[in-house]
Amino acid sequence: MALVAYGLIGRVKDQGIDRSKLRSSSIAAFLALALPLIGGWEGMRNHAYLDLVGVPTICFGHTKGVKLADHMTDAQCAALLRSEVLEYREGLHGYFSADTKANRLPAARDAAYVSLAYNVGIRGAGRSTATRGLNAGNVAGGCQALTWWNKAGGRVVRGLVRRRADEYRLCMLGVT
């Protein structure tokens, strides 16, 4: 079996496949799903506002250093969303096991988990039952646990219930 594996690796290597292109295409697939998912749920506002729990926010839910007088263009908001989604993905991936990243994290599930992290924070999502379940190999249980994050300010919010249902749908793609 080991000889077969080495033979396949050698064949791929001999064909001149650039591994960085494989990584970038998986990032491209992830972004193709994550940006509309997160952007659609966050909604874009060019002027700063106070979110549901009173935090100054702009664009697609950006909160770092925002003041209520701030304004950004559509292009600035789009660039900020892409940058932040990749940052959240990188941070959240630190909580996933190597086995999870290799075998249980296709682009759709990755987008669902990063959407949760974007909404509740990297640490909250990373230490969640959803992430622990996925790392333990319980994909369906991990996906179900995403739906538990449906509160803001201690109360269930209909928009969060719908967002989590959307994330759950993506998370469960390919699960039988």
**pLDDT tens, the chain, 176 aa long:** 333 333 333 433 433 433 333 344 599 999 999 999 999 999 999 999 998 889 999 999 999 999 999 999 999 999 999 999 999 999 999 999 999 999 999 999 999 999 999 999 999 999 999 999 999 999 999 999 999 999 988 999 999 999 999 999 999 999 97
Q: 109 lies in a domain?
A: yes
Q: Which residue has the tokens 């749920």?
A: 41
Question: Catalytic residue at 14?
Answer: no
Q: 14 lies in a domain?
A: no
Q: 92 lies in a domain?
A: yes
Q: 10 lies in a domain?
A: no
Q: 117 lies in a domain?
A: yes
Cβ atoms of 56 and 89 within 8 Å: the answer is no
Rounded alpha-carbon distances, angstroms, from residue 139 to 5, 167, 175: 26, 13, 8
Q: 13 lies in a domain?
A: no
Rounded alpha-carbon distances, angstroms, from residue 67 to 54, 56, 57, 71, 127: 12, 6, 8, 9, 30
Task: Return the structure tokens found at 65.
Answer: 């250093």
CA 35 from chain center: how many Å?
Answer: 9
Q: 15 lies in a domain?
A: no
Q: 160 lies in a domain?
A: yes
Catalytic hit among 14, 51, 70, 90: 51
The domain of 125 spans 29-41+74-171
pLDDT at 16 (0 to 100):
42
pLDDT at 53 (0 to 100):
83
The domain tally of the chain equals: 1
Question: Catalytic residue at 167?
Answer: no
Cβ atoms of 164 and 143 within 8 Å: the answer is no
Check which CATH number belongs to the domain holding 96 and give it. Answer: 1.10.530.40
